[in-house]
Chains A and B, each alone.
Chain A
Amino acid sequence: MSETKIKITNLHKAFGKKVVLSGVDLEIAKGESLVVIGGSGTGKSVLIKCIQGLLVPDEGSILVDDQEVVGIDEEEKEALHSKMGMLFQGGALFDSLSVWENVAFDLLENRGMNKKDAKNEAIRVLRSVGLAPDVADLSPSELSGGMQKRVGLARAIASKPEIIFFDEPTTGLDPIMSDVINDLIIESVKGLGATALTITHDMTSARKIADRIAMLYQGKIVWQGTVKEMDKTDNPYVRQFINGSSQGPIKVEV
């Protein structure tokens, strides 16, 4: 196995009395695309927010490039974020800025690139996710859901991050657009040689983009392996999830 990029050990997080993560252990190798699957409300989003330092875990350790993330200060956090990119579920595009300003945000605000170069770079990245240059001057609210996802992806990859997070990248898209986004994710991750961590409950998407899949249930990783292994496993949780059955060990809290 190659070099480890992210190593999570015994991660715990609770909100008040509600325990969300109760001892997650997970390793992601450099250049690998790991997909974490699990039902709604199983703490998938909390997991990636902890890795990014957006939430502080109650217990446990997260190493990114052998550097501890839990408990770092603001400056170190900014350095950490400069090697990460994230595609948010709802896009989270800045609606006070135009599309190209969104894509070039990091280049403009933090890397001191001048406006003209930043715009050219933004247009280049937009083109790489299949958007025409005339989209650049629109406002995010003028775009369709699929286009917003593409702009979000463009923003996530614009500063050439080493690690990219995808939060439910295909949720809310039609099957064809989902596939387009999946292709773009594979292309951009491979193109950058980045490490990718995706959380989703869309199994079609998971099969397509994953090198490896891990399943989160009741705050723990209950299974992990490749897509082939997943189809052969007799793990009851995984079987129930991929078959989409209401019968089985996974109880849905109504």
Chain B
Amino acid sequence: MCLKSIENFLRRQGQPLVKFFSSLGEFSLFVAQAVYNCFTPPVYWRNLWRQIVDMGFYSLPVVGLTTIFAGMVIALQSYSGFMRFGAEGAVASVVLISVTRELAPVLSALMVAGRIGAAMAAEIGTMRVTEQIDALVTLSTNPFKYLVTPRIWAGLIVMPLLVLLGDVIGIFGGYVVGVYKLGFNPANYVNSTLQNLQAIDITTGLVKAAVFGFIISIMGCYNGYKSKGGAQGVGTATTNAVVSASILILIFNYVITELFFSK
């Protein structure tokens, strides 16, 4: 009697844990299947191209605005902050390092996660609840290859390109504030930026970008793919895609930084 009630209690308490591990397992299988399908033919080029245009070209304004203001605000903040110990001269290098290593990859990825991760989850989720994914299967088409892998490749290809552009725009933002507001000499500012330019700053930013691109696509696809229960299910999937991608981006941002710079 007593044992029975303890057993029932444990069973109830254990349920969320079981659910957590089963969805973790489900997610791992999804990732494994997605990655496997990335490297096996056929490739649906038209879908890949559409995703690249959607994720890359149409994200340009968002990424441009995000990075230019990030660069501008860093110039302003570091100037007023560094004045306290007379290091205003470091503004150009601070802008360079913070934009290329952190701001351009992280902020662009968060913006793209909101823009594209949500769209992926909504589109694939709607296809799921309206049986379009089943229809793909009945038309002898592997839905992973048709829907998921083009999005993953697009994420891996497009995010580094966006971030590279974001680096340039962000540094330009810092330059504009430095020269026109803080009164730096243009030639000195450019010189000091170029002198401090190191390949490692750019490449780590690009590695981050590729990882973030993968995270955005996989979270968008996974949440869409597993969505059920009509409009509400698709709404939940969209929210989950954006929230989980954003959190993973911040976590992996730390992990990658640690890998490259903790010496």
Q: Does A106 contact B (CB under 8 A)?
A: yes
Within 8 A of B (CB), among A90-111: 90, 92-96, 105-106, 109-110
Stretch of A18-26, A79-87, A230-238 lying at the B interface: A79-87
Would A92 and B132 count as touching, CB distance under 8 A? yes
Interface centre among A84, A92, A106 (most CB of B within 10 A): A92
Would B131 and A88 count as touching, CB distance under 8 A? yes
Chain B residues closer than 8 Å to A159, beta-carbon distance: 139
Partner of B132, one of A54, A81, A84, A94: A94
Would B137 and A52 count as touching, CB distance under 8 A? yes
Within 8 A of A (CB), among B95-153: 123, 127, 130-132, 134-135, 137-142, 146
A95–B132 CA distance with the chains assembled, in angstroms: 9
Asked, given contacts A92-B130, A92-B131, A94-B132, whether A84 binds B142 with beta carbons under 8 Å apart, the answer is no
Chain B residues closer than 8 Å to A74, beta-carbon distance: 142
Chain A residues closer than 8 Å to B140, beta-carbon distance: 78-79, 81-82, 106, 110
Q: Does A49 contact B (CB under 8 A)?
A: yes
Asked, given contacts A74-B142, A92-B130, A92-B132, whether A54 binds B137 with beta carbons under 8 Å apart, the answer is yes
Q: B29 to chain A: closest CB distance in Å?
A: 14
Q: Does B44 contact A (CB under 8 A)?
A: yes
Chain B residues closer than 8 Å to A90, beta-carbon distance: 130-131
Q: B44 to chain A: closest CB distance in Å?
A: 7
Would B134 and A92 count as touching, CB distance under 8 A? yes
Nearest CB in chain B to that of A79: its residue: B140
Nearest CB in chain B to that of A55: its residue: B134
Would A88 and B135 count as touching, CB distance under 8 A? yes
Would B134 and A49 count as touching, CB distance under 8 A? yes
A110–B44 CA distance with the chains assembled, in angstroms: 10
How many residues on B have C-beta within 8 angstroms of the other chain's C-beta atoms? 15
Chain A residues closer than 8 Å to B44, beta-carbon distance: 109
A89–B132 CA distance with the chains assembled, in angstroms: 11
A165–B142 CA distance with the chains assembled, in angstroms: 19
A106–B138 CA distance with the chains assembled, in angstroms: 10
Would A52 and B138 count as touching, CB distance under 8 A? yes
Chain B residues closer than 8 Å to A110, beta-carbon distance: 139-141
Q: B133 to chain A: closest CB distance in Å?
A: 9
Chain B residues closer than 8 Å to A78, beta-carbon distance: 140, 142
Q: B3 to chain A: closest CB distance in Å?
A: 24
A155–B137 CA distance with the chains assembled, in angstroms: 13
- How big is chain A's contact interface, by range? 20 to 34
A117–B140 CA distance with the chains assembled, in angstroms: 20
Q: B76 to chain A: closest CB distance in Å?
A: 44
Q: A47 to chain B: closest CB distance in Å?
A: 14
Interface centre among B123, B135, B138 (most CB of A within 10 A): B138
Would A81 and B139 count as touching, CB distance under 8 A? yes
A53–B134 CA distance with the chains assembled, in angstroms: 10
Chain B residues closer than 8 Å to A86, beta-carbon distance: 134-135, 138
Chain B residues closer than 8 Å to A165, beta-carbon distance: 138
Would B139 and A106 count as touching, CB distance under 8 A? yes
Chain B residues closer than 8 Å to A79, beta-carbon distance: 140
Would B131 and A84 count as touching, CB distance under 8 A? no
Chain B residues closer than 8 Å to A84, beta-carbon distance: 138
Q: A151 to chain B: closest CB distance in Å?
A: 12
A95–B133 CA distance with the chains assembled, in angstroms: 12
Partner of B137, one of A81, A89, A105, A109: A81
A77–B130 CA distance with the chains assembled, in angstroms: 22
Within 8 A of B (CB), among A121-159: 155, 159
A86–B139 CA distance with the chains assembled, in angstroms: 8
Interface residues of A (CB under 8 A from B): 49, 52-54, 74, 77-79, 81-82, 84-86, 88-90, 92-96, 105-106, 109-110, 155, 159, 165
10 additional A-B residue pairs with CB within 8 Å, beyond A92-B131, A93-B132, A110-B140? A49-B134, A52-B137, A74-B142, A86-B138, A88-B131, A88-B135, A95-B132, A109-B141, A109-B146, A165-B138
4 shortest A-B CB distances, which residue pairs?
A92-B135, A92-B131, A81-B140, A86-B138
28 A–B contacts from the bound complex (CB under 8 Å): A49-B134, A53-B137, A54-B138, A79-B140, A81-B139, A81-B140, A85-B138, A86-B134, A86-B135, A86-B138, A88-B131, A88-B135, A89-B131, A92-B131, A92-B134, A93-B135, A94-B127, A94-B135, A95-B132, A105-B139, A105-B141, A106-B140, A106-B141, A109-B139, A109-B141, A110-B140, A155-B139, A165-B138
